[in-house]
């Protein structure tokens, strides 16, 4: 993936340190309380208040609309910082960033709506996420029509259905809801629904092994009325066979960055553990053992590969280099599996110390395993790549 294009948009040299320094300071604070939110399964509202005050919620909002206007590369770097500190916060934030990048690039988003959401994000805590997954449908990426129905009336749309794994549910101000119309020839797509409307309920179902503070609860819509003109992108089902390129690509990049961040947190803890632990029968730190050095070296190799994959792919996306959905999915697969392997390698050296709740490694392990669950799952990525290679 080599490009001679030098038009990549990056933050000005005088602005970049400010943005990244703010993120670094916040990440340190988020990391200090991540274990508490994990243990309690509580949502980190304070993190998002601080992100808003630091101007980081508007990171991917176009500069012309008051945001920082950064692309996928700088956003991925910041998501990686927060993924290392608190991946639950990073996940909610990444979904929000994705939506604003899509708004900025899509011709299907109504301009008045994208400008309204941009303005709200610049001015306060106004997060958005797409709600797609349902109890019966599962992941929309595997096909099928949603059970959630949007009925058009003379006075507005009326929405009914249930969405699961709605990341950030406690704090979202806007939902981009995947639903079908009740027309004789049903169309399917996204509808922009304000949070908190009558008939909307959040059911606190999220009690997961990892990412416990992400607030990925169920949201029920019971004949919820919202305005006409809030349909974002509604098409015939067959027209959705080719996914939105921006959505699919930045989703893969950002998810990869989150779990790479988790792996780096595990690596840092392990290095400190190996250097500080001096068994009496050894008379030196565990870091002096060739086995420890070899495994840490393998960890460094995986993380180096992750950095190259994320940064080169995100950079080429920003440069407008033609990329394929299959390649973006392979990036996500490779980075997340490398991240899982890093934490497993760390556990192989830390033994019981790594699995005790007094140490963060067991939390990193629970969190990093969630990387395999995110769309696209590994089997779908491999099957698609295989079919392309076989010409099917």
Q: Which domains does the chain have, with CATH numbers?
A: 16-126 (1.10.540.10), 130-237 (2.40.110.10), 245-390 (1.20.140.10)
Main-chain dihedrals φ then ψ at residue 24, nearest 5 degrees: -65, -45
CA distance linking residue 34 with residue 261, whole number of Å = 14
Calpha distance 134→320 (Å, rounded): 34
At 5 the pLDDT is 42
| pTM, 2 dp | 0.93
SS3 149: strand
Beta-bridge mates of residue 193: 175
pLDDT at 168: 98
pLDDT at 280: 83
Other Cβ atoms less than 10 A from the Cβ of 298: the count is 13
pLDDT at 6: 39
Over 90: is that where the pLDDT of 363 sits? yes
What is d(CA 203, CA 34) in angstroms, rounded to the nearest whole number?
23
Evaluate the omega torsion of the peptide bond into residue 376 and state whether it is cis, within 30 degrees of 0: yes
- % pLDDT > 70, the chain: 94
Instruction: Tell me the pLDDT band of 139, cut-offs 50, 70 and 90.
Output: low
Residue 1 scores a pLDDT above 70: no
- From 90-94, 167-171, 237-241, the region with the lowest mean pLDDT: 237-241
Say what the pLDDT of residue 18 is: 84
CA pair distance 196, 71, nearest whole angstrom: 31
Q: Is the pLDDT of residue 15 over 50?
A: no
What local confidence, expressed as pLDDT, does residue 4 receive?
A: 40
């Amino acid at each position: 993936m080599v490009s001679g294009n030098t038009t990549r948009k990056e933050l000005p040299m005088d602005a970049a340190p400010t943005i990244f320094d703010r993120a670094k300071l916040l990440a340190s604070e988020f990391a200090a309380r991540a274990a508490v939110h994990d243990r309690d399964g509580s949502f980190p509202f304070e993190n998002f208040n601080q992100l808003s005050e630091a101007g980081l919620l508007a990171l991917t909002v176009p500069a012309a609309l008051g945001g920082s206007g950064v692309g996928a590369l700088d956003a991925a770097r910041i998501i990686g910082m927060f993924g290392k500190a608190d991946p639950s916060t990073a996940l909610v934030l990444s979904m929000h960033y994705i939506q604003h990048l899509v708004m900025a690039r899509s011709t299907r988003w109504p301009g008045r709506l994208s400008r309204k959401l941009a303005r709200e994000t610049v001015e306060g805590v106004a997060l958005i996420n797409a709600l797609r997954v349902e109890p019966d449908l599962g992941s929309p990426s595997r096909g099928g029509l949603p059970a959630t129905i949007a009925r058009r009336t003379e006075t507005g749309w009326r929405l009914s259905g249930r969405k699961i794994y709605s990341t950030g549910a406690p704090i979202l101000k806007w939902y981009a809801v995947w639903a079908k119309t009740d027309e004789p020839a049903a169309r399917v797509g996204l509808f922009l629904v304000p949070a908190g409307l009558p008939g909307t309920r959040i059911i606190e179902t999220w009690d997961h092994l990892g990412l416990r503070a992400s607030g990925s609860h169920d949201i029920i819509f019971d004949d919820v009325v919202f305005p006409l003109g809030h349909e974002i992108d509604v098409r015939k089902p067959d027209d959705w066979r080719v996914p939105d390129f921006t959505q699919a690509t930045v989703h893969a990049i950002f998810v990869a960055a989150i779990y790479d961040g988790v792996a780096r947190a595990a690596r840092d803890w392990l290095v400190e553990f190996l250097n500080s632990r001096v068994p009496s029968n050894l008379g030196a730190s565990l870091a002096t053992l060739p086995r420890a050095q070899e495994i840490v070296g393998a960890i460094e190799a995986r993380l180096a590969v992750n950095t190259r994959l994320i940064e080169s792919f995100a950079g080429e996306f920003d440069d407008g280099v033609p990329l394929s959905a299959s390649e973006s999915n392979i990036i996500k697969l490779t980075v997340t599996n490398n991240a899982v392997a890093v934490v497993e390698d760390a556990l192989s050296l830390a033994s019981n110390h790594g699995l005790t709740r007094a140490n963060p490694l067991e939390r990193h392990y629970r969190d990093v395993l969630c990387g395999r669950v995110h769309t696209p799952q590994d089997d779908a990525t491999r099957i698609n790549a295989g079919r392309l290679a076989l010409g099917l």
